[in-house]
Structure 1
Amino acid sequence: MQVELEYGDGHVTVEVPDDAVVVSSDRTDHEPEPLADPVAATRAALDAPLGCGPIADLVGPGQRVTIAFPDRVKGGQHETAHRRVVLPQLLDDLEKAGVAPEDIRLVCAIGLHRKNRWEEFEAYLGRDTLARLPRANVVNHDAEDPDGMVDLGLSGLGDPVQVNRAVVDSDLTILIGHTAGNPYGGFSGGYKMPATGLTSWRSIASHHAPRSLYREDFVPVSTRSRFRDQLRAIGQRMEEVMPQPFFSVDAVLDSRSRQLGVYAGRIPEVEQASWPLATARTDLRIESSWDGPADVLVVGIPRTFHYGPGMGSNPILMTQAVGSSLIRAKRALVDKPVVIAAAVCDGWFNSTEFPPYEAAFERLQACQHPADMVQHQEELATDPEWVYRYRHHYGYHPFHAFSMVYVGGIAREHSSQFFLAGAKRPDLARAMGARTTATVEEALRETAAALGRPPRVIVVPALSQPAFHLTAGGAGTS
């Protein structure tokens, strides 16, 4: 049968076996129904939080409040998107509690992503909502601000905890989060939100690193991993020095970023309450005409998706997309599957948004294994030019390139062969460890010849859309 895969700035039609399982991102037959009234559901969650009292019981006149919210990468910008719905209700509650607008600070929890522009804040938070606060009180987290960061020493697991000063200086810190499927530790939201969105590169490098990512408990995707334990320990170290623990408002999102459920309160209780629903949305037991796991994962990689333009052309980001796809699909695949990715890989690094990536790519060529890039972290992650572009010119932080290299290395660690089909610069694909072919069909033929039989194939055509975490089922199961 023919399937359209995302590729470059459009699509490419490929022929796959008739019995291939195609996992469309708009598949909703197993998903819970979205909330009929997400505004009312958010109000109900805020009025009856888990593990603590409502906001009016936690803060009052003269006290300072920080509200941290996710950046543009995920969550949607529609009128009833979670950020857009919850923020005005939080401001209403704080106003009723007597907190002055000038004592409320909004922090975009970008972590090491590029800073968001004001018009982007307006697009996903709402212009009228932002007008309720002084403009100077709406800021991006800056992991390199010497006055804006505070060092809290080590977490209970020995990782550095360097966090935005507003988190510990405020009388209450509220987190707006998305409980959505994520290859990094299972789900976004919860303790992952402050541990990755409000910390320094050194804190993030403690878990976005080979010593955590290449453990057996990281692949397939799981909330029961050393990585997830590290996030929790970092967040709990923050709470030890905060006036009170985080107040979290997390929404479980469906494949169209609509709310399936909204939960508010202390993070442990919110995680416990939201993860079962998020699992029902995210985990997909595939239906096939064959028994057992698949031999091959085929993915289509567009030029642009959640991190920004260049994901299908920048070889580091392209390979990260392959690694993260393998993390999500591993339970549906044989122990050492073949991965076939269709990507334009034309060498456009997008140096405006990803300024240090070409330098990181050059260092990678001198390494035997992606894990060896650890020796270059300090040099590039502290380079004044790259740090300046992160702080002042809307570029990703230099360490971000390393975290992407390491996840890309998972494609090497957990596959028997990684094909890159349709690369305009096959030399760059080969430099990332891929075997290059002109077409997906050619890669499938080579795989069939190596197996000595037709391969069992799973196809994920669109990586630009929210993904599922796959599990193998028996013949005819779903």
Structure 2
Amino acid sequence: MATVEFDAGARRQAITLPDGATVLEYVEQPATGEPGALVDRALDAPLGLPPLRELAATLPRGGRRVVIAFDDPNRPLATIRAVLPAVLGRLNAAGVGDEDITLVSANGMHPKFSREAFAAYLGPDVLERFGGRVRNHDCEDVDDLVDLGATEFGDVVQVNRHAVESDLLIYVGNVAVNIWGGYSGTGSVVGLAGVRGFAGHHGRHGIGHPDSCHGDPHAMLYQRRKRAVAAVIDRARPRPVLYVEAMTDGRGVVDVFAGTSDRIRAAAWPEADRRFVRPAAPADVVIVGLAPAFLYGPAHNPLIALTGVCFPLRLWRGQPLLRPGGVVIGVTDSLGVVDAATHPGYEEAIAEFGVARSFETVAKAGSRIGGDAALVARYRAGSAYHPWHPFWLFAEDEYGMTRAGAIIMAGARPGMLWQQLGCVVAATPSDALAQARGLVGAEARIVALPTYWSKPRIAFQVG
């Protein structure tokens, strides 16, 4: 037997695992270079595009419009702090003045930045320098959205007008393990989308579709739909979007890629596989340590905690990580409560599932709850997620919730919302393991992910 320290909300918890259990965590590897040098290399030799300074020098004189969009604070601070100064320096050196540049937070359906949050994320000097030209995207602002038609999948392409109509659009993002297949990136598709644009790639027929939940990340339906939207955006512009995407770990930036979305994907994904994919065997039980907050807010929110344990189940190559009917255990101190001020629509969506126990029924309720004017107003005021947001979580969690025979939250406070979600609450991890063995057998093969949400996420080559 071995004792392993797991994340358990605000604390760490030692859990004794039986012999044969496999513990998988992110393992640091050497950075490709010093962050500043990596950024310089990427911007001076983008993949599929001229160097940034040359791109900027070709812009029309007078009334130039440059937009720098960037991932919201759910993504690592290290990326924007390393990349933004280098981007601004090259633009200024090419004759693009600060007055020609607008910075846009690509927050999609996530809460908007306050001025204080902008200062903390971008740096107070940047906020002071650009003032009112630092702005939030609003997926409901019809005056600041433009419809670009539809993709071959029939998905409406509705995106931020400032970004699309700019002379040069630079998107600063990240390459990280993505629940919907492969790795994140091409952030303009999601972060700058309008509410109608989300409906295609983010619905149950997109991220929740079985074709988005198999072992070939390049061929997953969500990734194909995302690439199609990105292509429409590029065709609508005078020049393709220049993406600048970083890989990060606890040390900060470890690699940087710049260029067109397709060229970055071809170069970055093999490197990401090397850093973030770990070998694993199929498991009867998967145990996930849950940090106090991750992805979309605090783990006290039961739908976020549920997403925390379902997320790794989709990240397999070769074979599924969890055997059919297996058990997933979350280690947490979650109170099982929703803050309606910051996560409107969550309780309503959970209640729908609790009554119907049907993902199809929940998806159909999205237009009613996601379109509720009072709930939408909270998002537009700036402090809350959009009320459509919980429906995307149900879509991404459907795979794990249907594959698992039981989902047990060890250490959570019992409550109605867990029951509505179909989760079982156990007092301790030991109790949860005992329940799991009762379901899958005493010789269950266990995979433990003790720091899945406090270290960079990993994917699994299962065989």
State TM-score, norm by structure 2: 0.92
Three-state SS of the structure 1 residue aligned to 2:159 is strand
Residues 100-150 of structure 1, C-alpha deviation per residue, up to 9 Å, x if partnerless?
2111110011111111222222223222334432x1100111111121111
| Partner in structure 2 of residue 22 of structure 1 | 23
CA contact (8 A) 1:35 1:259 kept: no
**Equivalent pair of 2:355/2:420 in contact (CA under 8 Å):** no
Question: Given the superposition, is the C-alpha separation of residues 124 and 106 from structure 1 closer, same or farther in structure 2, using an over 3 Å criterion?
Answer: same
CA distance in 2, matches of 1:115, 1:343: 28
Residue 104 of structure 2 corresponds to 107
Matching residue's letter, 2:241: F
1:227 is aligned to 2:222: yes
Alignment partner for residue 114 of structure 2, among 104, 114, 117? 117
**8 A contact 1:371–1:406 mirrored in 2:** no
Indicate which of 288, 312, 324 corresponds to 1:325.
312
| Change over 3 Å in CA distance of 1:132–1:227 after alignment to 2 | same
Q: CA deviation at 1:336?
A: 4.0
The aligned residue for residue 132 of structure 2 is: 136
2:143 aligned counterpart, secondary structure: coil
CA deviation map 1:290-341 (0-9, x unaligned): xx422110112233223223xx221221212122121135744334422112
- In 1, the alpha carbon distance for the partners of 2:440 and 2:399 equals 22
Corresponding residue for residue 269 of structure 2: 275
Secondary structure (helix, strand or coil) at the match of 2:323 reads: strand
Aligned to 2:458: 468
1:131–1:218 distance in 2 versus 1, CA, 3 Å: same
| 1:94 aligned partner | 91
Residue 374 of structure 1, CA deviation = 1.7
Matched, 1:398 2:387: yes
CA displacement at 1:426 relative to structure 2: 4.2
Partner of 2:192: 198
| Aligned mates of 2:357, 2:323 — CA distance in 1 | 26
Paired residue secondary structure (1:186)? coil
CA shift digits 1:55-97 (9 cap, x unpaired):
3333333221111111111213xxxx22112111111111122
Does the CA-based 8 Å contact 1:205-1:403 persist in structure 2?
no
Q: In 2, Cα distance between the equivalents of 1:472 and 1:445?
A: 25
Instruction: Indicate if the aligned counterparts of 2:343 and 2:385 stay in contact, CA closer than 8 A.
Output: yes
Separation (CA, whole Å) in 2 of partners of 1:96 and 1:351: 47
Match of 1:247 among 242, 245, 265: 242
Q: Return structure 1 stretches of 4+ with deviation > 6 angstroms.
A: none
Matched residues in 2 for 1:393 and 1:91: separation?
27
RMSD: 2.0
Match of 1:155 in 2: 151
Cα-to-partner distance string for 1:331-367 (whole Å, 9 max, x where unaligned) = 4433442211223342321223212212222222232
How far off is 1:38 after superposition? 1.2
SS in 2 for 1:139: strand
SS at match of 1:68: strand
Q: 1:459: Cα distance to partner?
A: 0.9
Tell me the equivalent position of 2:254: 260
Deviation (angstroms), 1:453: 3.5
1:293–1:334 CA contact under 8 A, matched in 2: yes
- The 2-side partners of 1:465 and 1:98 are apart by 41
Q: What SS class does the counterpart of residue 315 from structure 2 fall into? A: helix
The answer to whether the 8 Å contact 1:181/1:282 transfers is: yes
Are 1:34 and 2:41 counterparts?
Answer: no
Deviation for aligned residue 1:4: 2.7
Deviation at 1:181, TM superposition (A): 1.3
Q: 1:396 to 1:451 in 2, by over 3 A?
A: closer
The letter for the 2-side match of 1:20 is A
Q: Give 3-state SS (helix, strand or coil) of 1:99's partner.
A: coil
In 1, Cα distance between equivalents of 2:31 and 2:65: 34
Distance 2:188 2:198 in 1: 11
In structure 1, the residue corresponding to 2:314 is in which secondary structure? helix
Q: Retained in 2: the 8 A contact 1:304–1:464?
A: no
SS in 2 for 1:98: coil
Aligned-partner SS, 1:391: helix
CA distance in 1, matches of 2:261, 2:182: 15
- Counterpart AA for 1:296: V
Using a 3 Å threshold, how does the CA distance of structure 1 residues 223 and 258 change in structure 2: closer, same or farther? farther
SS at match of 2:278: strand
1:466 maps to amino acid: P
Partner Cα distance (1:257, 1:248) in 2: 22
1:384-423 to structure 2, matched below 5 A, reads 384-423=373-412
Letter aligned with residue 324 of structure 1: F
8 Å contact 1:144–1:200 — kept in the other structure? yes
The structure 2 residue matched to 1:359, chosen from 345, 348, 364, is 348
Residue identity in the other structure for 1:423: A
Q: 1:325 to 1:239 in 2, by over 3 A?
A: same
Find out whether 1:13 has 2:14 as its counterpart: yes
Percent identical pairs in the alignment equals 33
Whether the aligned pair in 2 keeps the contact of 1:321 and 1:408 (CA below 8 Å) is: no
Find the counterpart in structure 2 of residue 476 from structure 1: none
* CA deviation profile, 1:29-67 (whole Å, cap 9, x unmatched): xx3x11442112211221112112123333333221111
Distance in 2 of aligned mates of 1:127 and 1:120: 10
Written as runs of structure 1 = structure 2, the 5 A alignment for 1:34-73 is: 34-59=31-56, 60=59, 61-62=61-62, 63-73=64-74
Is 1:444 the counterpart of 2:463? The answer is no
Corresponding residue for 1:289? none
1:99 corresponds to which letter in structure 2? V
Following the alignment from structure 2 to structure 1, what is the Cα–Cα distance between the partners of residues 437 and 236?
58
Residue 305 of structure 1 corresponds to 294
Q: How many angstroms does 1:434 deviate by?
A: 1.8
Contact 2:24 2:278 survives alignment (8 Å): no
TM-score, normalised via structure 1 length: 0.89
State the aligned residue count.
454
| Structure 2 unmatched ranges of 5 or more | none
Which residue number in structure 1 is paired with residue 5 of structure 2? 4
